[in-house]
Structure 1
Amino acid sequence: MELHRIGESLDRVRQYNPLIHNITNVVVTNFTANGLLALGASPVMAYAKQEVADMAKIAGALVLNMGTLNELEVEAMLIAGKSANEHGVPIIFDPVGAGATPYRTETARKLVNELAISIIRGNAAEIANTIGEEWQIKGVDAGAGEKDVISLAIAAAKHLQTIVAITGKTDVISNGEKTYLIHNGHPILTKVTGTGCLLTSVMGAFAAVEKDTLAAGVHALVCYGVAAELAAHKAGQEGPGSFQIAFLNTLATMTSDDVHRMGKVERRK
């Protein structure tokens, strides 16, 4: 994949300022909104079932994140998702904690069965449990596991008939036919709550400006990883608090040249 195209996608996000409708969890709402604003997108957090259909149909993308689940939120996600499907708005789904409890697992499977999802992003355990594969999970964090994450991504993409992104030390994204590995990022991301959730919303921002959804996912992963590397170099040694601020700043200031210089994408057959 040509790295200059990734920088062009970043520029388009900033040019078009896409509206990203997030139904996300209470832990990460502020960080997600600030991260999208820093990147150049326009976040909205709308949860009421009376308005989510109207909001979803005018958005550039709809992000569904089940981090803090409740019955009303699931109902709102289904209403918003069906509206997004009806109006051609891409849905990015984050099955947070799938496999941790039966309720989470059942909810993840219900959403992927009833909605046409454009991209599903999670860790290996969440993706595996969404498609009925066994994988160790503790709370909402994945066990490392010993299975082949690349094979899991391909199998999940085929099973769900969508694009699957499994994030970790190396990010893997596949549509079942084409698979890419992204070797960008930094371990300190795991020390700040909500960085994975924000990444899902950032994928929504790229999907809103890039018609090739697989490319949008790759572009988002690379840009996010490069921003993390730049921020860690600047402030990572000071700890996760300083890194969080530097990361938000870097999402706003990183350039397409940074992406071209630092992006590391590997194509797998």
Structure 2
Amino acid sequence: MLNKIASALNTVRDKTPLVQAITNYVTINDCANILLCFGASPAMCEVRSEVEEFAGFISALYINLGTLTEEQKVAAVLAAKKATELQKPVVLDPVACPVITRKMDVSRELLENAKITVVKGNIAEIKSLAGFKSMARGVDSLDEGDDAVEACVSLAKKYGTVVVATGKTDIITDGERTCLIHNGTPMLRMVIGTGCMVGALVAAAAGTVEDKWVASAAAVMIMGLAGEMTAGSMVKELPGTFRVRLFDYVYGMTAQDILKGGRIECL
């Protein structure tokens, strides 16, 4: 599996996927920059009068509901339907859906009216979407992960999608194949937007790698491993320094780094 993940990194960099992001305003700049560091090309196109036309040019679409305006909501639905029609991968990040009814409603509308390739969220978001009891505080998961794998598999099977649940241990499943990724560092939780950045990387990988389960695992592992390498490079763990260096370590990630440091468990 590590060989496939390493190959996915090289594929992204060889193909330079164009990723359209309809994403939240708190982290939009970081998502754009992390895509560049990964080897992708970001396009933050979210105007409803433009998204259907633009869908013809993209490799993948990333929809993040973090600061969902009415303009974004309409644009996201239009873009997802058009991307589905054109057989372009769509990644949905249902931010805060356990605590805001409107976000849950929009998430379900997208899942039921477009082909969502990957659903990426924290454990509470995924469990809530799957109909399982969950605990959340705003955009943060307070869930300990009980029944998390079961919830991920259930959601994946219901919508025929890949599900990514991020947490202390990350879960990636397509309903038949499931893996756990053990890379990461607590410092990733000290920087706003690392989850959004993971979602953007998932879209980039899904836009170039045929196997979307492998693509999702690759994006998640690369972010976790880059976080580990960043934390390991610091004499003292400081969030501001960590944020800047994280981009550098994603940019400098190699296949050899993945083969040496990747930690994955296939169930």
TM over 0.5: yes
The alpha carbon displacement at 1:16 in A equals: 1.4
How far the C-alpha of 1:146 sits from its partner, in A, is 5.5
Per mean C-alpha deviation after superposition, the further-off stretch among 133-142 and 244-253 is: 133-142
Look up the match of 1:66: 65
**Conservation of the 8 A alpha-carbon contact between 1:125 and 1:135:** yes
Provide the residue aligned with 1:213 in structure 2: 212
4+ long deviations beyond 6 Å: none
Structure 2: how far apart are the matches of 1:12 and 1:66? Answer: 28
Q: Distance in 1 between matches of 2:217 and 2:82?
A: 26
Per the alignment, residue 8 of structure 2 pairs with 9
Q: Is the 8 A contact 1:227 1:251 kept in 2?
A: yes
Larger displacement relative to structure 2 (169-178 or 107-116): 107-116
* Distance in 2 between residues matched to 1:236 and 1:189, nearest whole Å: 17
CA–CA separation in structure 1 for the residues paired with 2:29 and 2:58 = 19
Q: Letter of the aligned partner of 1:15 in structure 2?
A: D
CA contact (8 A) 2:132 2:151 kept: no
**Where does 1:81-92 land on structure 2 (aligned, <5 Å)?**
81-92=80-91
- Assess, with a 3 A threshold, how the Cα gap between structure 1 residues 210 and 146 changes in structure 2: closer, same or farther: closer
Q: Does the aligned pair in 2 maintain the 1:66–1:96 contact within 8 Å?
A: yes
Mapping 1:152-171, distance limit 5 Å: 152-171=151-170
Q: Please tell me whether the aligned partners of residues 236 and 243 of structure 1 are also in contact (alpha carbons under 8 angstroms).
A: no
Could you say what the CA RMSD is over the residues aligned between the two structures, in angstroms? 1.2
Partner of 2:222 in structure 1? 223
Instruction: Give the superposition deviation at 1:132.
Output: 2.7
Shift of 1:204: 0.8
Q: Decide which moves more: 48-57 or 115-124.
A: 48-57
Residues 72 and 42 of structure 1, relative CA distance in 2, 3 Å threshold: same
* Cα distance in 2 between the residues matched to 1:187 and 1:241: 14
Residue identity over aligned pairs, in percent, reads: 36
Greater shift after overlay, 60-69 or 102-111? 102-111
Alignment of 1:1-269 (within 5 A): 1=1, 3-145=2-144, 147-235=146-234, 237-268=236-267
Partner SS state of residue 88, structure 2: coil
Q: SS in structure 2 opposite 1:254?
A: coil
Q: For residues 203 and 97 of structure 2, what CA distance do their matches in structure 1 show? A: 20
Unmatched tracts of structure 2, length 5 or more: none
SS in 2 for 1:58: coil
**Could you list the per-position Cα deviations for residues 92-132 of structure 1 after superposition, in whole angstroms to 9, with x for gaps in the alignment?**
11000001121121111111111110000001111122233
1:56 Cα deviation after fit: 2.0
1:171 partner amino acid: D
Change (3 A) 1:146 1:59: closer
SS in 1 for 2:236: helix
CA shift at 1:39, angstroms?
A: 1.2
Secondary structure, counterpart of 1:238 in structure 2:
coil
The DSSP-based 3-state class of the residue aligned with 1:57 is coil
TM-score (norm 1): 0.96
Compute the displacement of 1:144 (Å): 2.1
Q: Distance in 1 between matches of 2:226 and 2:235?
A: 12
Amino acid at match of 2:239: P
Deviation at 1:12, TM superposition (A): 1.6
Give the SS at the match of 1:209: coil
C-alpha distance in 2 between matches for 1:81 and 1:57: 12
Normalising by structure 2, we get a TM-score of: 0.97
User: Contact 2:12 / 2:209 at 8 angstroms: preserved in 1?
Assistant: no
Contact persistence 2:12–2:205 (CA under 8 A): yes
Q: What secondary structure does 1:211 align onto?
A: coil
- Aligned partners of 2:63 and 2:90 also within 8 Å: yes
Q: Deviations over 1:177-221 (max 9, x none)?
A: 110011111111011011000100101111111111111111111
